[in-house]
Structure 1
């Protein structure tokens, strides 16, 4: 048996084997009727020759397509694509059979003959089972049967096997190399799995200029030819749902083949949170330009008839599939034109009437009750306010809660709420255009943060839909893969699995030899890059230590530069060990993000020194002026390199402007920070002498810094335990503390699970405790999340992080606090502890509310707690 299969099973602990173990024992026992003992592994490829792939001639198009795709995957691994056969009489030897229960005569015959017992698959959503059957028919020695409860179940079961044998979902979209193997076997033990979240997918958004420009160069536009790769990527990651690109685009109108292809491959289509009734916003303006009598204002109170006519067209198009309907989830509700808020003062009764009228259109066009068409209402930005103020929609509509556009979920179902048939979902962001600043360039998302927020969402009942805004798809490969892995089975993504994920992802992507090192690299990159979005960084972002008699003290900014330098060195060392065919994937997934963000930090660090030294007419400013110019040139060189790798395959994908923002929205062009030269005109071609830096910044005297993970004692209460989540946040340690399991009611002050810290104060005096927390929001709208604090056995004092996020302007006090928190990716809560004696003290943190993530504790006497604690 191949090692890659074993390592892949470890990586996918929440997938096949993990889910099999989670099934009821009778279900496992019935997987293969009459099975006794263990069977030998199934020979998928022998001496380069693959098994034959069988699919019934009348199978659904999605099943036929995945069979052909799997046959190509066998060729990617073994060197020779498999034959795809649709006539049972033509089968001999070993065969991979792919089909849907109740729709495959061949598989159904095995069931009828008692060779397969799949009763527990019937009626399941997207479930699949993979079993080995000996002598299933004359001439066939053995068959590996992949049976789906429905068409996507068969697709996911097949692509799970592709991933097991080493074909990454990103083999095309990130050029991840497939390792050639002459002989491949897979375990004969049954594999079974099903998703826990019903709709799982992503939203292509903010796609200009990158994805749009790239698609135009390579496919002639954002069309079916491009979407074929997107749909395949989604399905390989076991996603099933897509919101298409929407900046000036109309999925079904730009290229009608896109809609047809999506359905043929098994992808469920929807539209974004502000594009109701399967109509793109761009379509409305096209109608307005062509025929003003059918367009007009995007205002239901003034233009109801035209809007109804427009929306009806979207549902009619959904029903235009011969003999059925194109599988879709219909977005209902309404926002203002261009993804803006509706008119100020919009009443909830108007929105309720809009939804009622939309559902009447659905029922009229489909000739079925509206409840039989899946629908979603996105509670995004101000729409959540309508929900909070009592707006109601029918219970069969999925309520899609949203984050604050910065990865912090704003609202979740009240645990006391009655179940809704439509359930709840989450709309999350890895990319955003809006206040306090756009972030579109590179991945800046920690998977640990994603895990904490989405684990909370699942625990609180958001299980109907998870969808994430990924911008251009690239370069969000790493967090997107994680998001969809967790969405498939959130219960299997435990803190231990999360901690192992970077290493296991690295093993699956680049091989096991350097997996630990690569896992560390990608984790450190995520930690550093998520500290502050690159678009938010400038020369004032982090403090310098200043000019000293011994040289220049880089301070916190310098420590960050040193960390990026060390990370670059780690990355370069690992790169030297890779095969040549792995380097393009390595550059996209690992190398470019590290080089580009490190270079950006260096550019602004040099700018900060240039400005500081120039103010005192210090000639060392010129050295840093040269460094700024060099870094700016380097940024352009890296972008050009990205656009030329793999024969220019990704030309245009890194065209995003990403420096020198002065307002929240895009700068008009890429520009270098302004620099100052002193001492007259210095020849540009003469290298300036390198300034001498202080070897190590002096430690702060009046601060006691404690990593939250360095607690002395803890006690569980009411089934809750403070748990270390490795690598989460940006604190003094290597993780953060979260009370698990999440989703539980609040604890009374002093009654919750607690953590004790032994601290020693160097002197007596007034003492302030500052807690550094990850930004999180009160998902129950009760004023903020709380944690209890006590000293030396004293009373518990609640401390509250009262952040409010509407996604609007950041000029109001509550919005300013939120903006500061998301920019710094930290919430600082200060508590006056009064006068404390010198020496040892016991500090206790007690759980009160859910969704509190503790990273660092700082005790200060006479000095303010810093905004940043260093690298």
Structure 2
């Protein structure tokens, strides 16, 4: 049989973006078929005898992947044998390969378009490249990582998921495999692309201790491979009490050998883990307070050690690294009260002097990044100057809303700008570390905005323990490779294509729908922010118990879990471990959590009224609490305990922002004696909630009546973004403000049943004004009008914070991120009975409209 990756994905649109659990694959129009497996036998793999270590590593992985596909070993050749025979795949770097030079000299290869490119690759099918070789697939990189990415891209196309190890995604066996090979140049659009392992205790740390004896090179080998398979190149290592280069010196050596660029987190300057400072400077460097005003000499000595270690490779270039510069306070806190701009400028100046002195080359020849995280952004906003070659790394608010991007038309920087984003966080208003609660639609909206505003030098995302962030991380890395290819259409197609590449075509549509529904439900409110009092119950009624909004949510989770179980029953046995990790556990665990708190809410209400039905719900709380432990134990037992410890995060009954010390069940109360009847399945009848008042009109934003485009902008619906059907954006993002005269607007026709004063409540994503502090009028504006009345300007006054909620704007931000929703209200005066037109005006960028609610306004107070 002949298999093509394109046919497996089953869509002509795959020429724009192809996906598995990992990277996006740009697919140029010119293609040529090449047989990788014939009658169960794989092609040979060839590299130069003196190939770069990164090429050697990826060639070994490729040979292993061929064996995964066909069941037979592939021959890996280092140097061309005298008696070569049969087809082969050649992996090489232009300018570093005698084999490539030989093909160029013979006129069989023309790859001039690789010159000067960063991490680019081409694949070319060559006839009779060498004596005895009828055909060869040549994978050639502009540099060593280009060769690595071109090879791992091919691995993904032949059915080996980037997550084959990290999520146990099975590889389908093929006796014959022919791929249509894209022949054009492929290169990344974002220069540095990676993730940050953080908040890794107790999960990743505990798992690694059991599996590998610690967070060491044996563990990082799998992390590096995962990163490279997703075509990422940059990593911030685990940092809670850990020192990457000190805990196991082989980790740094292996990263460089495989082609990974290493750095350190936003608050760990000069390739020094913060833990090193607290270990008493065991490497001979001096200690003291982490305070540059009092201990500058010791700090410079400490930082010098980081750069000296980078250069200890001994080749004059050093280990491949990107140096974080700047400084925050000890323990990832603010460095000083107020805005210490001059101090931080001096610190960066002194750090760069160390870099130049130790590397013996100008500082601008060593890649560096300055992270504008939390209060450090204030320094930037107030004019702090940083050398032009340093990457400015803007950050989100830790909850998925980007705080700052370059303004339209801003001068180009040599170093460029990037984004530090979060899928996991420890801090106010509440830690969220347990499970994936990230919508790819929201990730797309924010990162597309960043890309359109020229944040293209670095994208890095905080993923906590890596698992269970597989799905959003794969999407993030796919988009980072080619943001232009991740169009709204490609975004909409991504879940099904991901499911098809991960579980096969048979259930792909249903699994894609499951992961989309799960992501939307989970993103409404982080589980750490939920308890029995979070959502309203309808109350006790004569004909039963009204579940209210809480009941509606539980019903949605129940239906999702039922659908998930139905799909599981149709999967092959070798797919069940991956399904449990990626689909089943997240859905079952979240559904169970909602049911537990729902039962606790009813127990609390009924017990307060001395109603014996409280006992039924007490039993349900206990059963749900026990099931949570059972689900975790099952996760830790799959694949012979491979992931033991990875789901150990406490996730119930938070009372402050930080983790509880242990997992505890919600409090329950019983009424009278607990009888056998109380323990039976005597679930009372539930009554659907009464719903909104008759005079309230609720409209999904995507259900507009008319759209007025203009100023190069076009209204576009993004399905599933937000709480319901989707959201509406004016694309492309990143454009300057528009005014009423530009008439970029949406119309919604409504019918008012009863005359009277009314208000319009807009439901939006809790996005931030990305331009404040840059000399512009504050953004975050959207307009609303009814019929021919004047437009009202509504403005989002959200101020992201990492500290106390001490201003109205900070309190509003905390409420908005907890609800994952911002409500803006316009009083529109008296509306007559009958038809009206509500118009929404695009004023500022990054305003994501999800819903409109038109309701009667409260009557004015009597005087």
- 1:212–1:844 Cα change, 3 Å: same
Instruction: Provide the rounded CA distance (Å) in 1 between the counterparts of 2:768 and 2:688.
Output: 40
> Given the alignment of the two structures, is residue 320 of structure 1 paired with residue 315 of structure 2, yes or no?
no
CA distance in 1, matches of 2:389, 2:376: 18
Shift of 1:21: 3.8
Tell me which residue corresponds to 1:207: 200
Q: TM-score, normalised by structure 1?
A: 0.95
Aligned-residue offset at 1:131: 1.2
Distance 1:766 1:377, change over 3 A: same
Conservation of the 8 A alpha-carbon contact between 1:622 and 1:688: no
Residues 763-774 of structure 1: pairs in structure 2 closer than 5 A: 763-774=754-765
Asked if structure 1 preserves the Cα contact closer than 8 Å seen for 2:613 and 2:678, the reply is no
Report whether the alignment pairs 1:861 with 2:853: no
- Compute the displacement of 1:76 (Å): 0.5
Please tell me whether the aligned partners of residues 119 and 187 of structure 2 are also in contact (alpha carbons under 8 angstroms): yes
Q: How many Å apart are 1:687 and its aligned residue?
A: 2.1
Q: Counterparts in 2 of 1:683-762, with a 5 A limit?
A: 686-687=679-680, 689-695=682-688, 697-731=690-724, 734-762=725-753
Structure 1: stretches of 5+ with no match in the other structure? 23-27, 29-37, 865-871
Separation (CA, whole Å) in 1 of partners of 2:619 and 2:718: 42
Once the 2 structures are TM-superposed, how far is the Cα of residue 140 of structure 1 from its aligned partner? 0.1
Task: Tell me the secondary structure at the aligned position of residue 319 of structure 1.
Answer: helix
Would the alpha carbon gap of residues 367 and 288 (structure 1) be closer, same or farther in structure 2, given more than 3 Å must change?
A: closer
8 Å CA contact retained: 1:789, 1:799: yes
Residues 7 and 504, structure 1, Cα contact 8 Å, conserved in 2: no
Counterpart pick for 1:129 among 105, 122, 127: 122
Shift in Å, 1:752? 4.1
- Say if 2:37 is the partner of 1:42: no
Structure 1 residue 692, shift from structure 2 partner:
1.3
What residue is the counterpart of 1:785 in the other structure? 780
CA distance in 1, matches of 2:16, 2:570: 28
Q: In the superposition, relative to structure 1, how do residues 774 and 861 fare at CA in structure 2: closer, same or farther (>3 Å)?
A: same
Contact 1:5 1:165 in 2 (8 A): no
Q: Deviations over 1:119-173 (max 9, x none)?
A: 0111100000111111111100000110111000000000001000100000000
Counterpart Cα distance in 1 of 2:731 and 2:200: 37
1:644 aligns with 2:647: no
Q: Deviations over 1:304-346 (max 9, x none)?
A: 0000000000000111113131010000000000111112135
Match of 2:792 in 1: 797
Shift of 1:569: 1.0
Contact kept? 2:24, 2:482, Cα under 8 Å = no
1:717-755 superposed Cα distances (whole Å, 9 cap, x missing partner): 111011001111103xx2100110000000023424111
Shift of 1:696: 5.5
**CA spacing shift, 1:674–1:11, aligned 2, 3 Å:** farther
Maintained 8 Å contact 2:549/2:689: no
Q: Unaligned stretches of 5+ in structure 2?
A: none
Q: Say if 2:495 is the partner of 1:502.
A: yes
Indicate which of 827, 831, 850 corresponds to 2:845. 850
Identify the residue that residue 404 of structure 2 maps to in structure 1.
411
- Give the superposition deviation at 1:7: 3.8
Q: 1:791 to 1:699 in 2, by over 3 A?
A: closer
Asked if residue 277 in structure 1 is aligned to residue 270 in structure 2, the reply is yes
Mapped partners of 1:311, 1:6: distance in 2: 53
Matching of residue 819 in structure 1 with residue 822 in structure 2: no
Say yes or no: does 1:567 pair with 2:560. yes
Which residue in the other structure is 2:279 paired with? Answer: 286
* In structure 2, C-alpha distance between the alignment counterparts of 1:688 and 1:238, rounded to whole Å: 52
Q: Distance in 1 between the 2:454 and 2:487 partners?
A: 17
Deviation at 1:5, TM superposition (A): 3.9
Residue pair 2:536, 2:548 contacting (<8 A) in 1 also: yes
CA distances 1:403-449 after superposition (whole Å, capped 9, x unpaired): 00000000011223211000000000000000000000000000000
Aligned to 2:290: 298
Residues 821 and 90 of structure 1, relative CA distance in 2, 3 Å threshold:
farther
Query: Secondary structure of the equivalent of 2:742?
Result: coil
Structure 2: distance between partners of 1:330 and 1:17: 27
> Take 1:795 and 1:594, find their aligned partners in 2: how far apart are those partners?
47
User: What corresponds to 2:174 in structure 1?
Assistant: 181
Paired residue for 1:33? none
In 2, distance between residues paired with 1:104 and 1:650?
Answer: 41
Q: Take 1:504 and 1:54, find their aligned partners in 2: how far apart are those partners?
A: 32
Task: Provide the residue aligned with 1:58 in structure 2.
Answer: 50
Give the alignment's Cα RMSD to 1 decimal. 1.7
1:163-209 CA deviation, whole Å, 9 max, x = no partner? Answer: 00100000000000111111001125514310000000000000000
* Aligned-pair CA distance for 1:695: 4.4
Query: C-alpha offsets along residues 19-51 of structure 1, whole Å, 9 cap, x if unaligned?
Result: 4549xxxxx7xxxxxxxxx85x21100111000
Cα deviation, 1:30-75, whole Å, max 9, x if unaligned, reads: xxxxxxxx85x21100111000000111110000110010000000
* Whole-angstrom CA distance in 1 between matches of 2:99 and 2:337: 61
Superposed counterparts of 1:559-708, under 5 Å: 559-682=552-675, 686-687=679-680, 689-695=682-688, 697-708=690-701
**SS at structure 1 position matched to 2:740:** coil
Shift of 1:821: 0.2
Partners of 1:85 and 1:91 within 8 A in 2: no
Residue 287 of structure 1 and its aligned partner are, at CA, apart by 2.5
Contact 1:17 1:191 in 2 (8 A): no
TM-score if structure 2 supplies the norm length?
0.96
Aligned pairs, how many?
846
Deviates more, 1:662-671 or 1:741-750: 741-750
Aligned partner of 2:72 among 75, 80, 86: 80
Distance 1:862 1:373 in 2: 61
- Does 2:448 match 1:461? no
Q: Report if the CA contact (8 A) 1:99-1:107 is conserved.
A: yes
Structure 2 matches for 1:181-580, cutoff 5 A? 181-287=174-280, 294-323=286-315, 324-580=317-573
1:854 CA drift (Å): 0.3
The answer as to whether partners of 1:702 and 1:862 remain within 8 angstroms in 2 is no
Distance 1:697 1:613 in 2: 20
- Partners of 2:438 and 2:519 within 8 A in 1: yes
Aligned to 2:102: 109
Contact 1:14 1:491 in 2 (8 A): no
CA contact (8 A) 1:433 1:440 kept: yes
Paired with 1:91 and 1:728, the residues of 2 have a C-alpha distance of 55
2:697–2:854 contact (8 Å) kept in structure 1: yes
**Structure 1 runs, 4 residues or longer, greater than 6 Å off:** 15-18
CA contact (8 A) 2:4 2:180 kept: no
Deviation at 1:790, TM superposition (A): 1.2
Check whether the contact 1:133–1:144 (CA below 8 A) recurs between aligned residues.
yes
Query: CA separation of 1:688/1:679 partners in 2, compared to 1, >3 Å: closer, same or farther?
Result: farther
**Equivalent position SS for 2:643:** coil
Task: Name the CA distance, whole Å, in 2 between partners of 1:723 and 1:678.
Answer: 55
**Distance in 1 of aligned mates of 2:660 and 2:149:** 42
State the match for 1:808 in structure 2. 803
* CA 1:320–1:411: 2 relative to 1, 3 Å: same
Is contact 1:470–1:480 with CA below 8 Å preserved after alignment? yes
CA contact (8 A) 1:270 1:328 kept: yes
**Do the aligned partners of 1:11 and 1:505 also contact (CA within 8 Å) in 2?**
no
Shift of 1:690: 1.7
